[in-house]
Amino acid sequence: MDTSKFMMVRKNMFTRSGEFAFSLYNRLTCKRWTFMCVRKYRHVRWIWLKVGKETFIYLGTIGSNDRYKLTPGSKLPMSASEHDVFIKIWTRLRENVLLPQHTEIYMSCKLCGKELTDPKSIEAGIGPCCAKKIAGKERWFARMK
């Protein structure tokens, strides 16, 4: 496992405003998960799971104690493997325990889920292509006002 990517995710998890996205890839099962964390209230972050090209579904929350909690609004039952994956990874990130060798982790774009490699993109939490799309939409909306 690439420890520099692990440390980058961990650093962004605690230093950014509580909003970030990261992806996991399990080389044994060839499964990929992208999770997005969005600060909703002062001490509450909502966790979302990427399920489509630009589609995320709500999983649960992380409270002021940095613990993951399933809430009634979750779109997946607690028995879903995605909850288990998130809980295991979140615990390892929080406690600074490296991931298994067959697991890759990286910062990803909050919109499309692609890996972010540029420091500016990592800081913004969004890739250059998605940033251009948003900028174009904002200019369009500004013209409509």
* DSSP states of 75-141: SS-TTSHHHHHHHHHHHHHHTT-PPPTTEEEEEB-TTT-PBP-SHHHHHHTS-HHHHHHHHHHHHHH
pLDDT, mean over the chain: 82
DSSP state of 33: E
pLDDT in tens, 41-65: 777 889 999 888 778 899 999 887 8
| pLDDT band at residue 6 using 50, 70 and 90 as cut-offs | confident
pTM across the whole model: 0.79
Classify 70 as helix, strand or coil. strand
Residue 94's closest CA among 7, 4, 10?
10
- Confidence band (pLDDT; 50, 70, 90) for 1? low
Do 21 and 125 contact (CB within 8 A), yes or no?
yes
Percent of the chain with pLDDT over 70: 87
Q: Give yes or no for a contact between 48 and 36, defined as CB atoms under 8 angstroms apart.
A: yes
